Amino acid sequence: MLTVDFERFRVTPGERVLDMGCGAGRHAFEVYRRGAHVVAFDLDADELAGVEKMFGAMRLAGEAPEDATAETVRGDALDMPFPDEHFDKIIASEVLEHIPDDMRAMRELLRVLKPGGQLAVTVPAWLPERICWALSEDYHTAPGGHVRIYTRAELEAKLKATGFQVQGHHHAHGLHSPYWWIKCAVGVNNDGHPLAKAYHQLLVWDIVKRPLATRLAERVLNPLIGKSVVVYLAKPAARDLPDAGDTAGEGAGRETADAV
């Protein structure tokens, strides 16, 4: 289930793409299929082990072009082990809401992205997330859980303050918000509750079969209760950037090995 729209965020063969906070790797796998050199980056070693296994399975099955490469890297989003201006594109999906110092993470994203490169950021949308927080304290107080609820305006303002240019947005997964409201109401870990179980089966059926009726329903629901908001951004081209002396930051001048 992809949150980023790859018709808007076009990845071409040979590009270097970072999936920052890759989790289980869903976007990294799609980028690999599209022929890029993808780095799946996360702090969770167990998640990365699963992603690495899937990359291997994809290679064996011929699901990605021979020239494409894929690797996993473990590390901290606040101090990424990549050179400046290293990636053509970056995806940061459902990760910034977990990071207390989110603007430091945004500055790292700007640092490792090439001038003219693109960034896709997804976070939980304000209204569905606010309802989840109201229904369940466990939903947002678990270790490593969500530490904030963004409005789109706040998210875009922080990214613009960091130095990115906003290029557009949309909402996604309108059918998924009711599932999380049910989970929050009956217990976030109560997967066996009949209502939660039934709705989960509906979502799995929708993902596998992709029937027209649910596609149309989600198109209507996305702007209203889409579980995620996706913002597309760009790093200004080199000629549009301020003088280096005005923008020297934490990552400037670091010496790191080329990660791809």
pLDDT tens, position by position, 96-109: 999 999 999 999 99
Q: What is the pTM of this model?
A: 0.89
Predicted local confidence at residue 239, as pLDDT: 64
Q: Residue 238 — very low, low, confident or very high, per pLDDT cuts 50/70/90?
A: confident
Cβ proximity of 168 and 178 under 8 Å: no
Asked if the model's pLDDT at residue 172 lies above 70, the reply is: yes
Predicted local confidence at residue 244, as pLDDT: 42
Cβ proximity of 61 and 135 under 8 Å: no
Q: Residue 144 — very low, low, confident or very high, per pLDDT cuts 50/70/90?
A: confident
Q: Which residue has the higher pLDDT, 244 or 41?
A: 41
Q: How far is the C-alpha of 207 from the C-alpha of 203, rounded, in Å?
A: 6
Q: How far is the C-alpha of 37 from the C-alpha of 69, rounded, in Å?
A: 5
Burial label for 107, CB within 10 Å (0-12, 13-18, 19+), is middle
Distances (CA, A) of 73 to 9, 24, 39, 105, 199: 23, 13, 7, 16, 35
> The tokens of 11 are what?
């990845």
pLDDT per residue over 28-50, tens digit each? Answer: 999 999 999 999 999 999 999 99
Q: How far is the C-alpha of 84 from the C-alpha of 193, rounded, in Å?
A: 48
Strand partners, 40: 19, 72
The candidate with the shortest Cα–Cα distance to 136, out of 179, 95, 178, 186, is 186
Task: Return the amino acid letter for 227.
Answer: K
Asked if the model's pLDDT at residue 249 lies above 50, the reply is: no
Burial label for 24, CB within 10 Å (0-12, 13-18, 19+), is middle
Asked if the model's pLDDT at residue 258 lies above 80, the reply is: no
Predicted local confidence at residue 253, as pLDDT: 37
Q: Phi-psi bin for 220: left (phi > 0), alpha (psi -120 to 50), beta?
A: alpha
Predicted local confidence at residue 142, as pLDDT: 85
Q: How far is the C-alpha of 159 from the C-alpha of 119, rounded, in Å?
A: 10
What is residue 146's three-state secondary structure?
Answer: coil
Homologous superfamily (CATH) for 16-239: Vaccinia Virus protein VP39 (3.40.50.150)
Average pLDDT, the chain: 92
* Residue ranges covered by each domain of the chain: 16-239
Average pLDDT over residues 69-94: 98
pLDDT per residue over 177-235, tens digit each? Answer: 999 999 999 999 999 999 999 999 999 999 999 999 999 999 999 999 999 999 999 99
Q: How far is the C-alpha of 161 from the C-alpha of 159, rounded, in Å?
A: 5
